[in-house]
Amino acid sequence: MHNKSVAELSRELESGKISSVELTREYLGRLKKEDEQLNSFISITEEQALADAHAADEQRAAGKATPWTGVPFAHKDIFCTNGVATTCGSKMLANFVPPYDATVTENFRKAGAVCLGKTNMDEFAMGSSTESSHFGATTNPWGLSQGEKRVPGGSSGGSAAAVAARLVPAATATDTGGSIRQPAALCGVTGLKPTYGRVSRYGMIAFASSLDQGGPIARSAEDNALMLNVMAGFDPRDSTSIDRDVPDYTATLNEPLKGLRIGLPQEYFASNLNAAVEEQIRGAIREYEKLGATVKEVSLPHADLAIAAYYVIAPAEASANLSRFDGARYGYRCEDPKDLMDMYTRTRAEGFGAEVKRRILVGTYALSAGYFDAYYLKAQKVRRLIQQDFIDAFQEVDVLMSPTTPSPAFVQGEKSNDPVTMYLEDVFTVAINLAGIPAMSVPAGFVDGLPVGLQIIGDYFSEARLLNAAHQYQQVTDWHQREPQ
C-alpha cells in the first residue's frame, strides 16, 4: 500500500477496499521503523493522526468525502499546526506550540487529509542540505542504498526524503530560493514552487517574505496537482496573496503537448554543469520532442547575477523577519538575563545556529546606514533585470527547461563548512524566486545511481501548464516511480 500514489489511495478509500484507520496505521508503523535511519521527521503525531483517520472514515461513510479524505501526508515543520509543536528546525522554536493553524494547514484539515507529523528542514529554511536542523541532519534514502550518507537537499529535505522513501505519499514544502525543487531533484521526487502569491503564507514561518512560497512535494505530477488544488487560493490573511481564480489542476493533465514551445536557457547549460547530469537532461528534452514539443535556445542575460542578488535580498528580509525572536514573548530565552540587552544578545546567540546567524548579520549589514543603496537597493534593481529576462523569454516560448541542480546529491559534511559553495547549489533555482514565477522539478534520470531533476519553468500563474507538461512526461517515463532500496 505504501507504494501507491495519492490518486490511487484516494480511489482505494473511495471504493472501501481499505479504511483510513488501516492505512494510517500502516504508514505510521513504517514511518516509525524506517525513519530511524533517515531522520526525515521532527515529530510524529500518532494519536492525532489516528483520531483524524477515524473522523475521515466517518466522513466517507456519510458521503462527504473530498479526494483527500483519509489520505495520509505530512507538513514541513514551518507550517503552524494548532496544538502541535512547530519548530522551523530551530532551537529558538523547539518549545513553540502555535495556538493557530496556517492557512495551508487549515486547507488540508478541511479536505480531511490525515497529517502524520512534521518533517525536518534546514533551520528557518536557510540551507540546501537539511544539515543545519537543530534536530539533526536528514539522510537521503538514495545515498543510503549505496552505503553512503548523502544530503537530501534542502531546506525541504525532510519532506523530499520522506516521500522518496515512501514514508508518506505527499508532503508540504516551501521554496525561497530552491527549497522545494532542489531537494525534490536530489531525492528523485516531483515538486512545484507556485507563482508568488498563489499559496497563502499565513502561518508559514517567514524567512524572506518577498520570495517565500509554499508548494507540494509528491512522487508524481498528478499528486502535485491534487495537493495544489488544496493549497492554492486567495487568503485575506496574507497581504501579498493574489485574488485570482484557482483552476482544477487535475483537469488539464492530459492535454497533448503537441506544439509546446520549449526554451533552453543557454546560461543554465554552462560550464559548472556536471556533464553526466546534462546528458540526462538532454535525454528528457528529446522525450519532449517525441511528444510533439519544439525546442530552441534562449538567453537569460542576467542569469549570472541571480545568486548575488538573492544573497542580499534574502538575508536582508530574514534579518528583519527574525528580529521577532527576542526572548521576551515566546520561544527560547537564555538563563538569568542580567538586563534587556543581555537577554536579547544571549537568547539570539544561543537560540540560532551558525548559518542563521551568518544570514542575519549579512542582512543587517546590507540594510545598515551607508550600505543600503549599494547592496539592498542595487539587488532590487538587478532583481527587475532578472525578471525582465524571463518576461522576454516567455514572448518566444511557453516553458523553459534546465537541470534543477548542477550535480546530484553530495555527501553529508562536504559543503557545510563553506557557505558560498553551499549557496551555489541554488544557481539554477534562485532566479525563479526573484522573478516570482512558478517552476517544477521532475525526476529525469540517474547519474551513478543518484536521481537527477529536470526543472520546468513557466510564466506567472502557469502552474496548470507545468503540471500538464510534467504529467505527460511521466506517462512515457518511469523515473518518478523508481524506489531507493
Partner 1 sequence: MTISREDIEKVAVLARIRVDDEQVSELEKDLGNILDLVDQLSAADTDAVEPMAHPLNAVQRLRPDEVTETNQREAFQAIAPATEKGLYLVPRVIE
- With residues binned 3-state (H G I as helix, E B as strand, rest as coil), the percentages for the chain, rounded to 5, are 45, 15, 40
CB of 380 to partner 1, least distance (A): 4
CB of 143 to partner 1, least distance (A): 27
CB of 131 to partner 1, least distance (A): 16
Q: Are 295 and 289 in contact (CB under 8 A)?
A: yes
CA distances from 428 to 402, 406, 433, 457, 473 (A): 8, 8, 11, 11, 21
CA distances from 398 to 120, 287, 296, 464 (A): 35, 17, 11, 12
CB of 348 to partner 1, least distance (A): 5
Residue with cell 556533464: 275
Q: Which helix (DSSP H) or strand (DSSP E) does residue 455 occupy?
A: strand 450-458
Residue 78 vs 316, nearer CB to partner 1: 316
Q: Among residues 19, 90, 132, 155, which one is catalytic?
A: 155
DSSP bridge pairs for 181: none
CB of 234 to partner 1, least distance (A): 10
Q: Among residues 40, 179, 220, 402, which one is catalytic?
A: 179
Residue with cell 534543477: 404
Residue 85 vs 447, nearer CB to partner 1: 85
Residue 262 vs 382, nearer CB to partner 1: 382
CB of 326 to partner 1, least distance (A): 7
Alpha carbons 177 and 182: distance in angstroms, whole number = 9
In the 8-state DSSP scheme, what is residue 195?
Answer: P
CA distances from 69 to 6, 47, 65, 110 (A): 11, 17, 5, 9
Alpha carbons 403 and 178: distance in angstroms, whole number = 12
Residue 353 vs 484, nearer CB to partner 1: 353
What Rg, from alpha-carbon coordinates, does the chain have? 21
CB of 45 to partner 1, least distance (A): 18
3-state SS class at 118? strand
Residues counted in the chain: 485
Sign of the torsion angle spanned by Cα atoms 206, 208, 210, 211: negative
Q: Active-site residue 155, yes or no?
A: yes
Q: Active-site residue 91, yes or no?
A: no
CA distances from 409 to 23, 230, 238, 418, 447 (A): 31, 30, 35, 16, 10
Residue 234 vs 446, nearer CB to partner 1: 234
Q: Active-site residue 90, yes or no?
A: no
Residue 102 vs 444, nearer CB to partner 1: 102
Alpha carbons 108 and 215: distance in angstroms, whole number = 13
∠28-185-473 over CA atoms, to 5°?
100
- Interface positions with partner 1 (CB under 8 A): 96-100, 195-197, 210, 236, 239-240, 242, 302, 304-305, 307-309, 311-312, 319, 323, 326, 328-330, 333, 337, 339-341, 343-346, 348-349, 352, 357-358, 360-362, 364-366, 368, 374-375, 377-385, 387, 419-420, 423, 435-437, 460
Q: Among residues 40, 76, 129, 200, which one is catalytic?
A: 76
Angle between helix 6-15 and 221-231 (nearest 10): 80
In the 8-state DSSP scheme, what is residue 153?
Answer: -
Residue 283 vs 301, nearer CB to partner 1: 301
CB of 324 to partner 1, least distance (A): 11
Residue with cell 516570482: 436
Residue 11 vs 324, nearer CB to partner 1: 324
Which residue numbers are catalytic? Answer: 76, 155, 179
